[in-house]
Amino acid sequence: MRPTCPYCAAGGAHLVELSPTGTLWAWTSVNAPPPGYRGTTPFGFGVVELPEGLRVVARLTEADPARLSAGQPMRLAIVPLHTDDEGNDVVTYAFGPDRGDPTGEVGGP
């Protein structure tokens, strides 16, 4: 069954792949671990606007708000979070300053 569009309630929506690049729309840093989080702090946190007309909330690879600016190009990256009790590396998605590297290398510490 096709999903329902969460914006206009139309049925028959279909999934599309979104761009791995966008522009920075809002950003801050998280300086103390939020509930259920076992990774390091501080970490960057923000909203990236994608060319398809969506704004996405995500971690940012840059934790210093002063080093980011409105509208700057950002690129998707996979970043480590922590190692779980069974020794597995837990990762998540994040956006970082786009260095124009299509392999996905982004800026940040």
Partner 1 sequence: MSAVEIAGIGLHPFGRFPGTTVTDMGVVAVQAALAEAGVGRGGFQAAFCGTAYAGVASGHKVLGSLGMTGMPIVDVEAGCASGSAALMLAAGAIAAGQYDTVLVFGIEKMPKGIIRSSFFETWQEEAGLAATPAYFALRAQRLMQTSGVTKDHLARVVVKNRRHGAQNPDAMFRTEVGPAEVLESRVVCEPLHLFMLCTPNEGAAAVVLRRAEPSGAGPVRMAAAVLRSHLPGPVLSESTPLAGSTDDSVPAASSLAADDAFARAGVGPGDLDVVECQDTDAARELLSYEELGLCPPGAAAELLDSGATSLGGRLPVNPSGGLLSKGEPLGASALGQVVELVRQLRGEAGGRQVAGAKVGLAHTVGRGANAGVVILTR
φ, ψ dihedrals at 65, nearest 5°:
-55, -30
Contacts of 107 (CB under 8 A, 6+ apart): 61, 62, 96, 97, 98, 99
* Under rule CB under 8 A, residue 38 binds partner 1: yes
Q: Please state, in angstroms and rounded to a whole number, the distance separating the CA atoms of residues 31 and 93.
A: 19
* Under rule CB under 8 A, residue 12 binds partner 1: no
* Under rule CB under 8 A, residue 90 binds partner 1: yes
Closer to partner 1 at the Cβ: 17 or 100? 17
| β partners of residue 89 | 83
* Under rule CB under 8 A, residue 56 binds partner 1: yes
* Under rule CB under 8 A, residue 75 binds partner 1: no
Q: Please state, in angstroms and rounded to a whole number, the distance separating the CA atoms of residues 71 and 26.
A: 9
* Under rule CB under 8 A, residue 7 binds partner 1: yes
Q: Which of 1, 16, 70, 78 binds partner 1 (CB under 8 A)?
A: 70
Total residues in contact with partner 1, by rule CB under 8 A: 35
* Under rule CB under 8 A, residue 46 binds partner 1: yes
Q: Which of 49, 72, 73, 104 binds partner 1 (CB under 8 A)?
A: 49
Closer to partner 1 at the Cβ: 91 or 101? 91
Q: Please state, in angstroms and rounded to a whole number, the distance separating the CA atoms of residues 95 and 69.
A: 14
Contact 40, 14 (CB under 8 A): no
